[in-house]
Structure 1
């Protein structure tokens, strides 16, 4: 399902999704809910087990910003990133407006294609690729493609794309059902390039009211970021031009990880790769996880406490000279064990300069191979009077 050079037909995908719902299964995941305890017969003994998991609170789909970036907090545990191209003759504005209306119905639970599933904390976030942005304005944020970096093994169909649909939910069963509904709405106007599903680990408190999940390498991930409203205004949200204000820029990268080689390292060696304690997320320079590393701190004999090639040093915003990025990593099983990395920032250079700085000597990159890569302008939020994408393509 995740191969970049193969796309099953939309009809086949819908048939598979229907079968999954009928069986109550989702590939690679288990349900969080136990049997409810109700019986189909008055004389049958009730089923016993823990109470059903409460349905999480709904996340408003309408507003200045699209949901799925800073809301909900913390982010849901399951994600599907779907990347597609638009046909040459497709009218972008009407397609985006239709998708926005479909998202509103799905998140409200009124779309029959949900098959009766409660939407809970479902969010759907839509972005457009550089080709479409350039058609609207060559100087607009989001009009620039990502450059190529080292440690990439990317098939042509897994690089770039016109459309990003990010689907997130606490209930893993919702994700493919929602994807099927959106593909049904788009019809033959889009052609899927690649997709990747992933999941986040349980959140770990890191101090200052913040929590972050562990990644598949065992380390707490995504501690640093624009968390306050002031930081998000400065580094996350686009303030202009007016047609993109309230949006942001996303980078999506799929990476395979050399888990056996990383696992063969001692805990101390693994911590030197990251620059943080594996158990707590505390920087090797001390303090707390949320307070950040003291990059100048040294041992009595003059060695940096945070090694010169540690990830936390090479990727640190002050070392690179850029703003903060909101980073999320999702563990993946297919096509190989790894991570789906998603970052949001209001200047693409925040990402490109950081990765260029990491490319020189980041110890973590030696365990990664990037197999898919794209950047998108995450459109501003929408409401009933202002359809999704109307500012750019109305």
Structure 2
């Protein structure tokens, strides 16, 4: 595979992978009985109507590696995607020797294609539109857009580089990597109604509101047509640096006013439960909104924006700078663009963020042995 000049060499990759494995073995010798005897997570089916790694498993795994790449200008997407789908089936089944003996556990791999490839199949198809630019962005050219997204998730972080290496080797010199990002999520916290959510790097519970029920997912998450994309969805991927020192300097009350929720519990400042959502009309006796006008939960609220729900996930990252990797899934790109446009006006959270990478992808419908990955679109 041809890599960008700033990408690590294969030897460097193997050296890093070896160091990660050694670190994992060393950590296993420390006093952590619960971790040593923790059961291996169960497998997640790779085939079906939808790709794994979106609504399954639930909750999402703790570790993620996102790889964004380009296909060569003359490369046909169909054969590459079909080969990737076959490799995904063997990797998630644990029968691929490129796993180096690691059990796959709850490994999932989710594949999406960027607007350039979608337009080759149809200019009016969902996913054919590029992600527009927004304020508070500092995105290098190679970190904007891309032809291919490979999202790898697992409870065991050692799987991520091995799986990425296997898939990229499978694609060979037909693809060129743009950038990759490793990230992780914190422990799940109960928010009521049988739902859980992790904390983001700013200490607040994240991703509480979204299409949770099958009816909400049919309405706002999954594409229902045209037939070539039915069962897929649209993803937005953004990497953000966070001004952690400046946010940490705020009082807890000031931090809560930024989000519109209590830091400890996730409960909206209007009261109730975290899962129930905020009462945006609730006021104090003197007429002030309990959820401030510029609070994040108000500015990003679907009913205020006039858009659908997003399935949102935020992952913590340590490099290239402390921050988060944001991923949203929705069946209409306007759901994301209208929300961020509305936030751009006065969202109190945005001044603490700088976006350094961004792209949108059509997450392909599910696949199986008889219907290769991507075949309805590029077959």
Query: For the superposition of Structure 1 and Structure 2, which TM-score range results when normalised by the shorter chain?
Result: over 0.9
Match of 2:191 among 195, 206, 212: 206
Match of 1:281 among 255, 258, 266: 266
- Report the secondary structure of 1:198's partner residue: strand
Q: Within 2, Cα distance between the matches of 1:112 and 1:18?
A: 16
Q: 1:180 to 1:148 in 2, by over 3 A?
A: same
Q: Within 1, Cα distance between the matches of 2:32 and 2:198?
A: 32
- Cα distance per residue 1:219-268 (max 9 Å; x no partner): 00000000000000000000000000000000000000000000000000
**What TM-score does the superposition give when structure 1 sets the normalisation length?**
0.93
CA-CA distance at 1:81 after TM superposition: 0.6
For 2:48, the equivalent position in structure 1 comes to 63
CA-CA distance at 1:148 after TM superposition: 0.5
Q: Within 2, Cα distance between the matches of 1:5 and 1:354?
A: 35
For 1:151, the equivalent position in structure 2 comes to 136
CA-CA distance at 1:17 after TM superposition: 5.0
Tell me which moved more, 176-185 or 139-148: 176-185
Q: Within 1, Cα distance between the matches of 2:358 and 2:32?
A: 47
Query: Which consecutive unaligned segments of at least 5 residues does structure 1 have?
Result: 37-46
Is 1:170 matched up with 2:169? no
CA-CA distance at 1:19 after TM superposition: 2.1
For 2:14, the equivalent position in structure 1 comes to 15
- Report the secondary structure of 1:153's partner residue: coil
1:158-197 to 2 correspondences below 5 Å: 158-197=143-182
For 2:241, the equivalent position in structure 1 comes to 256
Query: Which consecutive unaligned segments of at least 5 residues does structure 2 have?
Result: none
Q: 1:4 to 1:89 in 2, by over 3 A?
A: closer
Q: Within 1, Cα distance between the matches of 2:128 and 2:33?
A: 53
Is 1:136 matched up with 2:121? yes
- Cα distance per residue 1:83-104 (max 9 Å; x no partner): 0000012121000000000000
- Cα distance per residue 1:36-93 (max 9 Å; x no partner): 9xxxxxxxxxx99554221001000000000000000000000011000000121210
- Cα distance per residue 1:159-213 (max 9 Å; x no partner): 0000000000000111111111111111111100011110000000000010000
Is 1:94 matched up with 2:79? yes
Pairwise CA RMSD = 1.8
Q: 1:4 to 1:273 in 2, by over 3 A?
A: farther
Q: 1:108 to 1:354 in 2, by over 3 A?
A: same
